Amino acid sequence: MIDIEKANQTAVSRMMSARPILKGVAPASEVIPGMRPNLLLHAGPPIEWARMSGPLRGAVIGALIFEGLAKNERDAEALVKKGEVDFAPCHHHATVGPMAGVTSASMMVYIIENETHGNTAYSNLNEGYGKVLRYGAYSKEVIAKLKWMNDAMGPALAKAIEASGGLDIRALLAEALHMGDEGHNRNKAGSILYTTKLAPWIAQVTSDSALKAEILKFLGENALSVLNPVMAACKAMADAAHGIEGSTLVSAMARNGTDFGLRVSGLGDQWFNAPAEVPDGLYFPSFSSKDANPDIGDSTITETAGIGAFAMAAAPAIVTFVSGTPQDALNATLEMYEITAAEHSHFTIPQLEFRGTPTGIDIRKVVELGITPRVNTGIAHKDAGAGQVGAGLVRPPMKIFEDAIRAYAKQYKL
For its own copies, the binding residues (CB under 8 A) are 178-181, 188-189, 192-193, 195-197, 199-204, 207, 209-210, 212-214, 216-217, 220, 316-317, 319, 325-327, 350-354
Q: Which residue lies nearer to its own copies by CB, 78 or 317?
A: 317
61 φψ region: left (φ > 0), alpha (ψ -120 to 50), beta (else):
alpha
Instruction: Give least dist CB 220 to its own copies, A.
Output: 4
Q: Which residue lies nearer to its own copies by CB, 7 or 393?
A: 393
Return the bridge partners of 281, or none: 392
Instruction: Give least dist CB 203 to its own copies, A.
Output: 4
Q: Which residue lies nearer to its own copies by CB, 197 or 399?
A: 197
Q: Which residue lies nearer to its own copies by CB, 274 or 330?
A: 330
Q: Which residue lies nearer to its own copies by CB, 201 or 271?
A: 201
Instruction: Give least dist CB 202 to its own copies, A.
Output: 8
Q: Which residue lies nearer to its own copies by CB, 49 or 337?
A: 337
Instruction: Give least dist CB 4 to its own copies, A.
Output: 35
Q: Which residue lies nearer to its own copies by CB, 179 or 371?
A: 179
Instruction: Give least dist CB 174 to its own copies, A.
Output: 11
Rounded Cα distance, 283 and 295, in Å: 14
Instruction: Give least dist CB 14 to its own copies, A.
Output: 27
Return the bridge partners of 394, or none: 375
CA of residue 284 relative to chain centroid, distance: 22
Instruction: Give least dist CB 167 to its own copies, A.
Output: 13
